[in-house]
Chain A
Amino acid sequence: MKNALHFKRLSSDDPCLQITWNGKPLDAVAGETVAACLLANSVLAFQGEDLSDPPRGPFCMMGACYTCRVLVNGVEQQACMVEVKQDMHVSCVDPEKEILHAGS
């Protein structure tokens, strides 16, 4: 079921923003969270998709479960707690083996 449509945007407005997910461009709508945007683009696993670990996706959407953590412009954040912004770079983290990105 990986490629089936799981979530649909309610709004008929065209997506007006662009972000990237692991380097690939995705359409985004102003006001939606990063988590919502990924789901609307059929990205269900936010962590561990290409790794030996079982993949993980978001679960609670309210900042409590911490399974939706992603890197937003290099900083680890909860995808459900951040709104999309034009040209935001979002990528997968492996929470088990995160490498710190120094502030420089």
Chain B
Amino acid sequence: MDFEYAIIGGGVVGLSIARGLSARGKRVAVFDGEDTDYRASRGNFGLIWVQSKGLQAPAYARWTRQSAALWRGFADELEAASGIDLALVQQGGWDFFFSEKSLHARASLYQGLADQLGERDDFEITDANKLKREEPAIGPQVVGALYGARDGHVNPLRLLQALGQTLQRSDSKYLTGCIVQSVRALASGFEINTANGPVRAQKVVLAAGLGAAILGPSLGFVAPVRPQRGQVIVTQKLSPFIRRPSGIIRQVDEGGVQIGDSNEEVGFDDSQQLSVMAKLAQRAVKVYPVLANASIVRSWSALRIMSPDGLPIYQESRLYPGAYLATCHSGITLAAAHTCLLPSWLEGEESAPRLEAFSEERFAL
């Protein structure tokens, strides 16, 4: 056997899992695709976000909170190992509102979740006056915000770089430009066929994002993931004026302001639509009016990997034990959990996190 684990997909999800396995001394091969593949790891917003997650699914809320809590330690270790500054800041985040009604409707959802989880002081309704003190650049149309103390953000590209770089320095292999054509279960272990020849591994983790839908069936998975487009705009570098991130605007450590996000069901189309970009810009200017004068430096769209209910899928194959599916649209938020907690689940340890709620069997009719 060439490797103990083959991880198909070298984005943040695959690399985070590989980091955790590699830290346990496992010999891992990560297979990654081409330069122009759909890559959510390159196009995402960089949030470590808790407040809106799992409002209808407490298990997901818990998993997210667990990961957010692990992030600092995960980042410290990764920074030390790679020498790369991840620009992690977890000092809370905003959800802005333009109407009192929608603010309070949302707040009651948050309260419901907090009660279910038994967590107190989970969020805070911040009125316009207080918000103005906290975020001096905020515009008059914002009536208030929900504050989530666990929210934060990170430089997702440096996270990707740090994960890739440290993996290369380990005993593991990071096989890039190496598209997996098929996977086959052997009597023992698996054979991964690539353009550069076959590789064998005892276990295989399918973390190929949207590609999981193609490779999944051969391993006994349905992998019901679909693309959901999100468009993002970045401005010129500016002196820091946004104190905390929100789901729609954040100032990155290099100074640019990143503006999102759209949720479009357009299939495998990662082009941009001007009408959507214009609305994103309009909303951003409403939140921080001073942004009207900022130059746009670049913009892009990327495809989220969405399951039918938006939650992650973690599943071991019933047909081929030793094959696992791991997919989610919150690879940044969940990176710490994927490194620190998922390996024990893959190894079938007693202490493994309970991930039954994320089985893909929940979608069975």
Contacts and interface: CB of A to CB of B under 8 A. Distances in A.
State if A and B touch, Cβ cutoff 8 Å: yes
A103 B237 contact: no
B89 interface: no
Interface stretch (B59-67, B266-274, B286-294, B350-358): B286-294
B290 A97 contact: no
Given A95-B237, A97-B237, A103-B292, 13 more contacts: A75-B293, A76-B295, A98-B237, A99-B241, A100-B238, A100-B241, A100-B290, A100-B293, A100-B294, A101-B293, A102-B289, A102-B290, A102-B292
Nearest to B236: A98
Interface in A64-104: 75-76, 95-103
B220 interface: no
Main secondary structure of the interface of A (DSSP, over half): mixed
A100 B291 contact: yes
A75 to B, nearest CB: 7
A75 B294 CA distance: 10
A90 B91 CA distance: 39
Nearest to B291: A100
A14 B364 CA distance: 84
Interface string B230-259: 000000111101000000000000010000
Interface of A: 75-76, 95-103
Size bin of chain B's contact surface: 10 to 19
A100 B284 CA distance: 15
Contacts of A100: 238, 241, 290-291, 293-294
Given A96-B255, A97-B255, A102 B237 contact: no
A10 B275 CA distance: 48
A98 B294 CA distance: 9
Interface of B: 236-239, 241, 255, 289-295
Contacts of B255: 96-97
Contacts, number: 32
A98 B251 CA distance: 13
Contacts of B241: 99-100
Contact of B239 (A76, A98, A102, A103): A98
A65 B70 CA distance: 43
Contact of A97 (B239, B291, B295): B239
Contacts of A96: 237, 255
A67 to B, nearest CB: 13
A99 B238 contact: yes
A95 B297 CA distance: 12
Contacts of B238: 97-100
B241 to A, nearest CB: 7
A103 B236 contact: no
A97 B293 CA distance: 14
Contacts of B294: 100
Which has the most chain B C-beta neighbours within 10 Å: A76, A95, A100, A101? A100
Contacts of A97: 237-239, 255
Nearest to A94: B239
Contacts of B239: 97-99
A103 B292 CA distance: 8
B97 to A, nearest CB: 23
23 contacts: A75-B293, A76-B295, A95-B236, A96-B237, A97-B237, A97-B238, A97-B239, A97-B255, A98-B236, A98-B237, A98-B238, A98-B239, A99-B238, A99-B239, A99-B241, A100-B241, A100-B291, A100-B293, A101-B293, A102-B290, A102-B293, A103-B292, A103-B293
